């Protein structure tokens, strides 16, 4: 592991080990030169290959012929940001540190800076970190409207970081947190970076687009239904370890009661509803386009359903607003009933009133006639009784 270049008075040693530390003496004639070799060894867990949200363990060891110094250790990530490690074990021979939870953007070359005042040491030790994961956040919320077309995407960073080992994964969907998950598709990525997908049988009607960016998992909902809402989780697996990214899909729908044209003087109820709970800083709003402030109604905190009673036709819009930002809008056009329909309705109303009045009069007349007939029958019965009683008396005489 070593050779000597006499011409330059050089000793070259390859693959240094901690045991190579010590004092090296060069003798040339009567002259002697002593050099103390201080050796550091830096190792990182899992050979520097991690999944997002994993916490690496870093071990720094040192050896020297003299007393070992107390080291000050500073870390810089691939973006040259200073990272404060969590020191798990410290003695002057071995420092064990835990780093932060890794994100996909942390891939690259890190630097460990070692400092000592006595003896004076300022040494940078570089090491590579590869973090396999998604360029999406761990959890993000997406919004869609009923009957729209929507595409959910997860972007793998495997090609970007030149990941050279195969891995696999799957995409699941569940409508609620505690509901059973439905497997939508399986996928695997080869060591050469080729992505292969297998669609699974599911009650959810979806497509996998043929044309899409490289290293991207996509699901296309050609016509969004209200019950397509829920959590879509993309999970990858490497050497028995897992990383995942979730997209929560929130769906909005609107409806009217009664359905149809709005007649003059009539009322209609518009309902706007979303499929999931809202964050504290979000709310629903109904408003009439080109209307007044009186045509605006906001939901209360955490309300997922907003109703508004209207008497004015036109275009009404329901907005989901989060931090003063309109995340999604859905429109409902309330048609005004034609004039002839209003006349028909008025005529029908008047006709109905007259018919009811006529029926009432008939009922009264009929009731009076019935009462008179009953009275007349009662008087005739009394008369017959009287006559019978008189005849009986005459016979007895």
Instruction: Enumerate the CATH 2.60.40.10 domain ranges in the chain, comma separated.
Output: 2-132, 139-247, 258-334
pLDDT at residue 341, rounded to an integer:
44
Question: Domain 139-247: what homologous superfamily?
Answer: Immunoglobulins (2.60.40.10)
What is the total residue count of the chain?
Answer: 397
pTM over 0.85, yes/no: no
pLDDT at residue 293, rounded to an integer:
84
pLDDT at residue 260, rounded to an integer:
80
pLDDT at residue 234, rounded to an integer:
96
Topology (CATH level 3) of domain 258-334:
Immunoglobulin-like (2.60.40)
Which residues of the chain carry a pLDDT beneath 50? 340-346, 348, 350, 391-397
Topology (CATH level 3) of domain 2-132:
Immunoglobulin-like (2.60.40)
């Amino acid at each position: 592991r070593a050779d000597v270049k006499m011409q330059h008075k050089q000793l070259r040693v390859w693959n240094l080990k901690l045991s190579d530390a010590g004092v090296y003496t060069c003798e040339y004639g009567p002259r002697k030169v002593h050099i103390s070799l201080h050796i550091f060894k830096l190792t990182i867990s899992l050979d520097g290959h991690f999944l997002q949200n994993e916490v690496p363990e870093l071990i720094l060891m040192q050896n020297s012929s003299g007393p070992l110094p107390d080291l000050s250790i500073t870390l810089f990530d691939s973006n040259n940001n200073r990272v404060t490690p969590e020191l798990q074990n410290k003695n002057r021979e071995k420092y064990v540190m835990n780093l932060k939870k890794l994100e996909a953007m942390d891939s690259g070359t890190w630097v460990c800076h070692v400092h000592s005042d006595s003896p004076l040491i300022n040494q940078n030790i570089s090491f590579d970190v590869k973090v396999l994961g998604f360029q999406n956040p761990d959890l993000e919320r997406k919004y869609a409207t009923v009957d729209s077309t929507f595409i959910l995407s997860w972007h793998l960073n495997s090609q970007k970081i030149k990941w050279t080992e195969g891995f696999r994964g799957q995409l699941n969907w569940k409508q609620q947190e505690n509901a059973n998950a439905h497997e939508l598709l399986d996928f695997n990525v080869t060591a050469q970076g080729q992505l292969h997908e297998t669609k699974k049988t599911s009650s959810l009607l979806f497509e996998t687009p043929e044309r899409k960016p490289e290293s991207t998992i996509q699901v296309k909902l050609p016509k969004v239904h209200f019950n397509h809402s829920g959590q879509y989780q993309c999970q990858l697996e490497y050497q028995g370890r897992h990383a995942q990214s979730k997209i929560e899909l929130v769906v909005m729908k609107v409806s009217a009661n009664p359905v149809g044209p709005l007649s003059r003087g009539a009322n209609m109820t518009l309902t706007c509803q979303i499929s999931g709970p809202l964050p504290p800083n979000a709310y629903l709003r109904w408003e009439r386009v080109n209307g007044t402030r009186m045509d605006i109604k906001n939901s209360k905190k955490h309300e997922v359903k907003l109703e508004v009673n209207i008497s004015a036709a036109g275009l009404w819009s329901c907005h989901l607003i989060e931090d003063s930002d309109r995340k999604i809008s859905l429109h409902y056009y309330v048609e005004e009933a034609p004039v002839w329909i209003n006349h028909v309705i008025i005529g029908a109303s008047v006709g109905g009133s007259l018919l009811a009045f006529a029926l009432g009069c008939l009922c009264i007349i009929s009731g009076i006639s019935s009462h008179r007939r009953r009275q007349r029958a009662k008087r005739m019965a009394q008369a017959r009784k009287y006559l019978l009683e008189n005849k009986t008396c005459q016979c007895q005489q």
